[in-house]
Protein backbone atom coordinates (compact mmCIF):
# COMPACT_ATOMS: atom_id res chain seq x y z
CA UNK A 1 0.00 0.00 0.00
CA UNK A 2 1.35 3.41 -0.90
CA UNK A 3 2.20 6.03 1.68
CA UNK A 4 -0.66 8.26 0.63
CA UNK A 5 -3.19 5.48 1.04
CA UNK A 6 -1.94 4.72 4.55
CA UNK A 7 -2.19 8.36 5.52
CA UNK A 8 -5.65 8.99 4.27
CA UNK A 9 -7.06 5.74 5.60
CA UNK A 10 -5.82 6.57 9.08
CA UNK A 11 -7.40 9.99 8.82
CA UNK A 12 -3.91 11.31 9.49
CA UNK A 13 -3.65 13.94 6.79
CA UNK A 14 -1.85 16.71 8.70
CA UNK A 15 -4.58 19.25 7.99
CA UNK A 16 -7.57 16.88 8.21
CA UNK A 17 -9.50 18.93 10.78
CA UNK A 18 -8.44 22.40 9.67
CA UNK A 19 -9.09 21.92 5.97
CA UNK A 20 -12.40 20.14 6.38
CA UNK A 21 -12.41 18.99 2.76
CA UNK A 22 -12.21 15.21 3.31
CA UNK A 23 -14.91 14.77 5.93
CA UNK A 24 -14.94 10.94 5.68
CA UNK A 25 -11.24 10.21 5.79
CA UNK A 26 -11.49 8.64 9.23
CA UNK A 27 -13.34 5.78 7.49
CA UNK A 28 -11.69 3.18 5.22
CA UNK A 29 -12.76 3.48 1.59
CA UNK A 30 -15.16 0.50 1.74
CA UNK A 31 -16.69 2.03 4.89
CA UNK A 32 -17.11 5.36 3.10
CA UNK A 33 -18.95 3.64 0.27
CA UNK A 34 -21.19 1.86 2.75
CA UNK A 35 -21.88 5.19 4.53
CA UNK A 36 -22.90 6.84 1.25
CA UNK A 37 -24.99 3.84 0.19
CA UNK A 38 -26.94 3.94 3.46
CA UNK A 39 -27.46 7.68 3.20
CA UNK A 40 -28.94 7.42 -0.30
CA UNK A 41 -31.07 4.42 0.70
CA UNK A 42 -32.44 6.34 3.68
CA UNK A 43 -33.20 9.51 1.72
CA UNK A 44 -34.71 7.76 -1.31
CA UNK A 45 -36.24 4.66 0.27
CA UNK A 46 -39.79 5.63 -0.62
CA UNK A 47 -38.93 5.86 -4.33
CA UNK A 48 -37.38 2.48 -5.11
CA UNK A 49 -34.40 0.21 -4.67
CA UNK A 50 -30.95 1.82 -4.66
CA UNK A 51 -28.34 -0.03 -6.75
CA UNK A 52 -24.95 -0.62 -5.08
CA UNK A 53 -22.78 2.51 -5.27
CA UNK A 54 -20.05 2.44 -7.94
CA UNK A 55 -16.76 3.25 -6.20
CA UNK A 56 -13.29 4.06 -7.53
CA UNK A 57 -10.49 1.53 -7.95
CA UNK A 58 -7.86 4.04 -6.90
CA UNK A 59 -9.61 6.83 -4.99
CA UNK A 60 -6.61 9.22 -4.73
CA UNK A 61 -5.37 12.27 -6.63
CA UNK A 62 -8.54 12.25 -8.69
CA UNK A 63 -9.24 16.01 -8.75
CA UNK A 64 -8.41 17.55 -12.14
CA UNK A 65 -9.12 21.08 -10.87
CA UNK A 66 -7.14 22.52 -7.96
CA UNK A 67 -7.23 25.99 -6.51
CA UNK A 68 -5.21 27.73 -3.84
CA UNK A 69 -5.38 31.04 -1.97
CA UNK A 70 -2.29 33.02 -0.94
CA UNK A 71 -1.15 35.09 2.04
CA UNK A 72 2.01 36.69 3.38
CA UNK A 73 2.88 36.70 7.11
CA UNK A 74 4.50 39.55 9.09
CA UNK A 75 7.98 38.26 8.22
CA UNK A 76 7.24 38.31 4.53
CA UNK A 77 6.89 34.53 4.22
CA UNK A 78 4.34 33.49 1.60
CA UNK A 79 1.88 30.64 2.14
CA UNK A 80 -0.53 28.93 -0.22
CA UNK A 81 -3.37 26.59 0.58
CA UNK A 82 -7.08 26.37 1.23
CA UNK A 83 -9.40 28.34 3.48
CA UNK A 84 -10.01 26.70 6.84
CA UNK A 85 -13.60 25.47 6.63
CA UNK A 86 -16.05 28.26 7.39
CA UNK A 87 -13.32 30.93 7.67
CA UNK A 88 -11.01 33.02 5.54
CA UNK A 89 -7.88 31.81 7.33
CA UNK A 90 -5.52 30.02 4.97
CA UNK A 91 -4.37 26.51 5.88
CA UNK A 92 -0.98 25.99 4.29
CA UNK A 93 -0.97 22.98 1.93
CA UNK A 94 1.72 21.83 -0.51
CA UNK A 95 0.16 18.54 -1.53
CA UNK A 96 -3.19 16.87 -1.07
CA UNK A 97 -4.18 13.25 -1.44
CA UNK A 98 -7.24 13.88 -3.56
CA UNK A 99 -5.75 16.58 -5.81
CA UNK A 100 -3.77 16.07 -9.00
CA UNK A 101 -0.07 15.89 -8.08
CA UNK A 102 1.14 18.01 -10.99
CA UNK A 103 -1.37 20.77 -10.17
CA UNK A 104 -0.13 20.85 -6.57
CA UNK A 105 3.49 21.08 -7.75
CA UNK A 106 2.65 23.98 -10.09
CA UNK A 107 0.96 25.92 -7.28
CA UNK A 108 4.03 25.53 -5.03
CA UNK A 109 6.30 26.62 -7.88
CA UNK A 110 4.18 29.75 -8.51
CA UNK A 111 4.47 30.62 -4.80
CA UNK A 112 8.24 30.19 -4.87
CA UNK A 113 8.58 32.41 -7.95
CA UNK A 114 6.69 35.37 -6.45
CA UNK A 115 9.56 37.00 -4.45
CA UNK A 116 12.04 36.99 -7.33
CA UNK A 117 9.44 38.79 -9.47
CA UNK A 118 8.61 41.20 -6.60
CA UNK A 119 4.99 40.09 -6.79
CA UNK A 120 2.91 40.46 -3.64
CA UNK A 121 -0.06 38.45 -2.41
CA UNK A 122 -3.52 39.97 -2.08
CA UNK A 123 -4.74 40.94 1.37
CA UNK A 124 -8.52 40.63 1.79
CA UNK A 125 -8.62 43.14 4.67
CA UNK A 126 -6.66 45.98 3.09
CA UNK A 127 -7.81 44.95 -0.43
CA UNK A 128 -4.26 45.57 -1.61
CA UNK A 129 -1.73 43.27 -3.22
CA UNK A 130 -1.45 41.22 -6.38
CA UNK A 131 -1.96 37.45 -6.39
CA UNK A 132 -5.27 36.24 -4.91
CA UNK A 133 -5.66 32.69 -6.15
CA UNK A 134 -4.14 30.17 -8.48
CA UNK A 135 -6.37 27.74 -10.35
CA UNK A 136 -4.99 24.76 -12.25
CA UNK A 137 -7.14 22.61 -14.55
CA UNK A 138 -5.76 19.52 -16.23
CA UNK A 139 -7.18 17.34 -18.99
CA UNK A 140 -6.29 13.86 -17.78
CA UNK A 141 -6.81 12.32 -21.22
CA UNK A 142 -4.99 15.02 -23.22
CA UNK A 143 -2.46 16.06 -20.57
CA UNK A 144 -3.15 19.72 -21.32
CA UNK A 145 -2.73 22.01 -18.33
CA UNK A 146 -4.28 25.44 -17.74
CA UNK A 147 -2.80 27.84 -15.18
CA UNK A 148 -5.06 30.71 -14.11
CA UNK A 149 -3.49 33.48 -12.03
CA UNK A 150 -6.23 35.42 -10.25
CA UNK A 151 -5.01 38.89 -9.41
CA UNK A 152 -6.47 41.77 -7.41
CA UNK A 153 -5.07 44.35 -9.84
CA UNK A 154 -4.77 44.29 -13.64
CA UNK A 155 -1.13 45.40 -13.86
CA UNK A 156 1.14 42.35 -14.03
CA UNK A 157 4.79 43.48 -14.15
CA UNK A 158 7.12 41.18 -16.17
CA UNK A 159 4.25 38.89 -17.02
CA UNK A 160 6.00 37.41 -20.05
CA UNK A 161 9.05 36.51 -18.03
CA UNK A 162 6.89 35.04 -15.29
CA UNK A 163 5.12 32.83 -17.83
CA UNK A 164 8.49 31.78 -19.29
CA UNK A 165 9.84 30.94 -15.84
CA UNK A 166 6.87 28.77 -14.86
CA UNK A 167 6.79 27.04 -18.25
CA UNK A 168 10.50 26.32 -18.01
CA UNK A 169 9.76 24.28 -14.90
CA UNK A 170 6.49 22.83 -16.24
CA UNK A 171 6.47 22.51 -20.02
CA UNK A 172 3.19 20.60 -19.57
CA UNK A 173 1.41 23.95 -19.06
CA UNK A 174 -0.33 24.60 -22.37
CA UNK A 175 -2.09 27.84 -21.49
CA UNK A 176 -1.80 30.64 -18.92
CA UNK A 177 -4.65 33.06 -18.18
CA UNK A 178 -4.72 36.14 -15.94
CA UNK A 179 -8.12 36.63 -14.34
CA UNK A 180 -8.71 39.95 -12.60
CA UNK A 181 -10.80 39.90 -9.45
CA UNK A 182 -10.73 43.28 -7.66
CA UNK A 183 -14.02 42.68 -5.83
CA UNK A 184 -14.73 42.01 -2.14
CA UNK A 185 -16.23 38.61 -2.88
CA UNK A 186 -16.07 34.94 -1.99
CA UNK A 187 -16.00 34.03 -5.67
CA UNK A 188 -12.55 32.97 -6.85
CA UNK A 189 -12.81 34.29 -10.40
CA UNK A 190 -13.57 37.84 -11.50
CA UNK A 191 -15.16 38.87 -14.80
CA UNK A 192 -12.19 40.15 -16.79
CA UNK A 193 -9.44 37.91 -18.04
CA UNK A 194 -6.65 37.93 -20.57
CA UNK A 195 -4.74 35.08 -22.12
CA UNK A 196 -1.01 35.34 -21.37
CA UNK A 197 0.02 32.18 -23.19
CA UNK A 198 -1.60 29.53 -25.40
CA UNK A 199 -5.23 29.12 -26.40
CA UNK A 200 -6.93 30.28 -23.20
CA UNK A 201 -8.61 26.91 -22.71
CA UNK A 202 -7.70 23.23 -22.43
CA UNK A 203 -9.32 20.18 -23.95
CA UNK A 204 -10.17 16.80 -22.50
CA UNK A 205 -11.73 13.61 -23.81
CA UNK A 206 -14.66 11.85 -22.13
CA UNK A 207 -16.67 8.91 -23.49
CA UNK A 208 -15.06 9.40 -26.92
CA UNK A 209 -15.98 13.12 -27.22
CA UNK A 210 -13.50 15.98 -27.07
CA UNK A 211 -14.35 18.94 -24.84
CA UNK A 212 -13.04 22.47 -24.60
CA UNK A 213 -12.82 23.77 -21.03
CA UNK A 214 -12.49 27.50 -20.26
CA UNK A 215 -11.40 28.98 -16.93
CA UNK A 216 -15.00 29.66 -15.80
CA UNK A 217 -16.84 26.71 -17.32
CA UNK A 218 -18.05 23.93 -15.08
CA UNK A 219 -16.37 20.61 -15.77
CA UNK A 220 -16.70 17.47 -13.65
CA UNK A 221 -13.70 17.24 -11.32
CA UNK A 222 -13.26 13.45 -11.35
CA UNK A 223 -12.95 12.34 -14.99
CA UNK A 224 -12.54 8.62 -14.20
CA UNK A 225 -15.86 8.45 -12.38
CA UNK A 226 -17.51 10.91 -14.76
CA UNK A 227 -17.24 8.27 -17.49
CA UNK A 228 -18.97 5.81 -15.15
CA UNK A 229 -21.67 8.38 -14.32
CA UNK A 230 -22.31 9.44 -17.91
CA UNK A 231 -22.30 5.77 -18.99
CA UNK A 232 -25.15 5.11 -16.57
CA UNK A 233 -27.00 8.27 -17.63
CA UNK A 234 -26.86 7.19 -21.28
CA UNK A 235 -27.92 3.64 -20.38
CA UNK A 236 -30.92 5.04 -18.44
CA UNK A 237 -31.87 7.31 -21.37
CA UNK A 238 -32.42 4.10 -23.43
CA UNK A 239 -31.87 5.84 -26.78
CA UNK A 240 -33.05 3.96 -29.84
CA UNK A 241 -31.93 6.41 -32.49
CA UNK A 242 -34.46 9.10 -33.31
CA UNK A 243 -35.28 10.74 -29.99
CA UNK A 244 -35.18 14.45 -29.23
CA UNK A 245 -33.14 14.89 -26.04
CA UNK A 246 -33.11 18.00 -23.86
CA UNK A 247 -29.90 18.41 -21.82
CA UNK A 248 -30.78 20.83 -19.02
CA UNK A 249 -28.06 22.49 -16.91
CA UNK A 250 -25.73 21.27 -19.64
CA UNK A 251 -22.46 23.07 -18.72
CA UNK A 252 -20.09 22.66 -21.69
CA UNK A 253 -22.51 20.21 -23.30
CA UNK A 254 -20.97 16.93 -22.15
CA UNK A 255 -24.08 14.82 -21.51
CA UNK A 256 -25.97 16.08 -24.57
CA UNK A 257 -23.01 15.50 -26.87
CA UNK A 258 -22.49 11.99 -25.60
CA UNK A 259 -26.23 11.37 -26.11
CA UNK A 260 -25.86 12.68 -29.69
CA UNK A 261 -22.96 10.25 -30.18
CA UNK A 262 -25.16 7.45 -28.88
CA UNK A 263 -27.79 7.98 -31.51
CA UNK A 264 -30.11 10.75 -30.26
CA UNK A 265 -31.87 12.23 -33.29
CA UNK A 266 -31.67 15.80 -32.03
CA UNK A 267 -30.26 17.39 -28.85
CA UNK A 268 -31.08 20.75 -27.27
CA UNK A 269 -28.94 22.01 -24.38
CA UNK A 270 -29.58 24.90 -21.97
CA UNK A 271 -27.13 26.49 -19.54
CA UNK A 272 -26.92 29.75 -17.56
CA UNK A 273 -23.17 30.39 -17.79
CA UNK A 274 -22.29 32.17 -21.06
CA UNK A 275 -18.69 30.96 -21.17
CA UNK A 276 -19.85 27.35 -20.79
CA UNK A 277 -22.41 27.82 -23.61
CA UNK A 278 -19.68 29.16 -25.90
CA UNK A 279 -17.57 26.10 -25.05
CA UNK A 280 -20.56 23.84 -25.73
CA UNK A 281 -21.13 25.37 -29.20
CA UNK A 282 -17.43 24.97 -30.05
CA UNK A 283 -17.46 21.42 -28.71
CA UNK A 284 -20.36 20.42 -30.96
CA UNK A 285 -18.48 21.81 -33.98
CA UNK A 286 -15.20 20.17 -33.03
CA UNK A 287 -16.94 16.80 -32.71
CA UNK A 288 -18.77 17.32 -36.03
CA UNK A 289 -22.17 17.01 -34.34
CA UNK A 290 -24.77 18.83 -36.41
CA UNK A 291 -27.93 17.71 -34.65
CA UNK A 292 -27.28 19.69 -31.46
CA UNK A 293 -28.15 23.26 -30.36
CA UNK A 294 -27.23 25.10 -27.18
CA UNK A 295 -29.04 28.02 -25.56
CA UNK A 296 -27.96 30.39 -22.81
CA UNK A 297 -30.57 30.96 -20.14
CA UNK A 298 -32.29 29.77 -17.00
CA UNK A 299 -33.26 26.13 -17.42
CA UNK A 300 -36.71 26.75 -15.82
CA UNK A 301 -37.55 29.67 -18.15
CA UNK A 302 -36.30 27.71 -21.15
CA UNK A 303 -38.36 24.64 -20.26
CA UNK A 304 -41.47 26.79 -19.85
CA UNK A 305 -40.93 28.32 -23.28
CA UNK A 306 -40.41 24.89 -24.87
CA UNK A 307 -43.53 23.57 -23.11
CA UNK A 308 -45.61 26.52 -24.33
CA UNK A 309 -44.53 25.86 -27.91
CA UNK A 310 -45.74 22.28 -27.50
CA UNK A 311 -42.44 20.89 -28.75
CA UNK A 312 -42.06 17.15 -28.60
CA UNK A 313 -39.21 16.09 -26.31
CA UNK A 314 -38.64 12.37 -25.78
CA UNK A 315 -35.95 12.40 -23.09
CA UNK A 316 -34.94 15.09 -20.60
CA UNK A 317 -31.51 14.69 -19.05
CA UNK A 318 -31.07 17.13 -16.17
CA UNK A 319 -28.03 17.82 -14.01
CA UNK A 320 -28.79 20.79 -11.74
CA UNK A 321 -26.38 22.30 -9.19
CA UNK A 322 -26.51 21.39 -5.47
CA UNK A 323 -29.63 23.49 -4.88
CA UNK A 324 -31.53 21.11 -7.16
CA UNK A 325 -34.12 22.06 -9.73
CA UNK A 326 -36.93 24.61 -9.43
CA UNK A 327 -40.70 24.09 -9.28
CA UNK A 328 -40.91 26.18 -12.44
CA UNK A 329 -38.61 23.68 -14.20
CA UNK A 330 -40.44 20.65 -12.82
CA UNK A 331 -43.87 22.09 -13.74
CA UNK A 332 -42.67 22.62 -17.31
CA UNK A 333 -41.17 19.12 -17.32
CA UNK A 334 -44.56 17.65 -16.41
CA UNK A 335 -46.21 19.69 -19.14
CA UNK A 336 -43.68 18.48 -21.72
CA UNK A 337 -44.05 14.93 -20.39
CA UNK A 338 -41.05 13.23 -22.01
CA UNK A 339 -41.28 9.47 -21.75
CA UNK A 340 -37.99 9.28 -19.86
CA UNK A 341 -36.28 11.67 -17.43
CA UNK A 342 -32.69 11.07 -16.35
CA UNK A 343 -31.89 13.14 -13.25
CA UNK A 344 -28.18 13.45 -12.42
CA UNK A 345 -27.79 14.90 -8.94
CA UNK A 346 -24.87 16.00 -6.77
CA UNK A 347 -27.09 16.41 -3.70
CA UNK A 348 -29.40 13.56 -2.63
CA UNK A 349 -31.37 15.89 -0.30
CA UNK A 350 -32.56 18.19 -3.10
CA UNK A 351 -32.96 15.12 -5.34
CA UNK A 352 -35.38 13.61 -2.79
CA UNK A 353 -37.29 16.91 -2.63
CA UNK A 354 -37.61 17.14 -6.42
CA UNK A 355 -38.61 13.46 -6.79
CA UNK A 356 -41.26 13.98 -4.14
CA UNK A 357 -42.64 16.99 -6.05
CA UNK A 358 -42.79 14.96 -9.27
CA UNK A 359 -44.48 12.03 -7.56
CA UNK A 360 -47.10 14.27 -5.94
CA UNK A 361 -47.91 16.18 -9.08
CA UNK A 362 -47.45 13.74 -11.95
CA UNK A 363 -47.37 10.15 -13.08
CA UNK A 364 -43.56 10.01 -13.10
CA UNK A 365 -42.17 7.08 -11.15
CA UNK A 366 -38.58 6.21 -10.30
CA UNK A 367 -37.26 3.19 -12.24
CA UNK A 368 -33.60 3.15 -11.19
CA UNK A 369 -31.41 4.81 -8.55
CA UNK A 370 -27.67 4.55 -9.09
CA UNK A 371 -25.18 6.28 -6.73
CA UNK A 372 -21.67 6.88 -8.13
CA UNK A 373 -18.76 7.90 -5.92
CA UNK A 374 -17.45 11.00 -7.66
CA UNK A 375 -15.86 12.52 -4.55
CA UNK A 376 -14.01 9.88 -2.47
CA UNK A 377 -13.10 10.87 1.13
CA UNK A 378 -15.58 13.76 1.05
CA UNK A 379 -19.21 13.65 2.15
CA UNK A 380 -20.52 14.51 -1.33
CA UNK A 381 -22.73 11.99 -3.10
CA UNK A 382 -23.66 11.81 -6.78
CA UNK A 383 -26.68 9.85 -8.03
CA UNK A 384 -28.31 9.18 -11.35
CA UNK A 385 -32.02 8.39 -11.36
CA UNK A 386 -34.25 7.17 -14.17
CA UNK A 387 -37.90 8.17 -14.16
CA UNK A 388 -40.61 7.30 -16.60
CA UNK A 389 -44.24 8.20 -16.91
CA UNK A 390 -46.78 5.59 -15.82
Residue 113: CB minimum distance to ligand SAH, A:
32
Q: Of residues 13, 19, 209, 346, which has the active-site annotation? A: 346
Give me the least distance between CB of 76 and ligand SAH, in Å please. 39
Q: For ligand SAH, give the closer residue by CB, 149 or 299.
A: 299
Query: How distant is the alpha carbon of residue 59 from its chain centre?
Result: 17
Measured from the CB atom, is 18 or 63 closer to ligand SAH? 63
CB of 321 to ligand SAH, least distance (A): 5
Cα–chain-centroid distance for residue 263?
26
Nearest distance from C-beta of residue 92 to ligand SAH, angstroms: 30
Q: Where are the alpha helices (DSSP H) in the chain?
A: 3-9, 16-19, 29-44, 101-113, 159-169, 223-237, 254-261, 274-286, 299-308, 327-336, 348-361
Q: How far is the CB of 259 from ligand SAH (least distance, A)?
A: 11
Summarize as ranges the residues that interact with ligand SAH (CB under 6 A).
218-220, 249-251, 254-255, 270-273, 276, 298-299, 319, 321
Burial bucket for residue 210 (CB in 10 Å: 0-12, 13-18, 19+): middle
Q: Which residues, at least 6 apart from 276, have a Cβ–Cβ distance to it below 8 Å?
A: 214, 216, 217, 218, 250, 251, 252
HEC letters along 274-298: HHHHHHHHHHHHHCCCCCEEEEECC
Residue nearest to ligand SAH (CB): 251
CB of 219 to ligand SAH, least distance (A): 6
- Helix, strand, coil content of the chain in percent (nearest 5): 30, 25, 40
CB closer to ligand SAH out of 204 and 314: 204
- Judge contact between 370 and 52, C-beta under 8 A: no
Nearest of 117, 121, 119 to residue 90 by alpha carbon: 121
Closer to ligand SAH by Cβ: residue 152 or 269:
269
Nearer to ligand SAH, 119 or 233 (CB): 233
Structural contact between residues 148 and 180, judged by C-beta atoms closer than 8 angstroms: no
* DSSP track, 62-80: -BSEEEEEEEE-TTS-EEE
- Tell me, yes or no, if 209 is annotated catalytic: no
Residues annotated catalytic, as ranges: 346
Amino acid sequence: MSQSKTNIQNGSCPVYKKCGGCQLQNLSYPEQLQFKQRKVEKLLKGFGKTEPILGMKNPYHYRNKVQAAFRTDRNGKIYSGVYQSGTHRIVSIDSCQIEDRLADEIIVAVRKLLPSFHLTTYNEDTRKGFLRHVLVKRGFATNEVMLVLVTGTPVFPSKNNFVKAIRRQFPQITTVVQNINPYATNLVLGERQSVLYGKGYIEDVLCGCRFRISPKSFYQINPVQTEVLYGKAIEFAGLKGDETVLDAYCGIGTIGMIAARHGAGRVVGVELNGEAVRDAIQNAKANALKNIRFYKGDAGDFMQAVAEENEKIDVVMMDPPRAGSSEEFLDALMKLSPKTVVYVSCNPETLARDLQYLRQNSGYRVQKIQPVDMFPHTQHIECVVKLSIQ
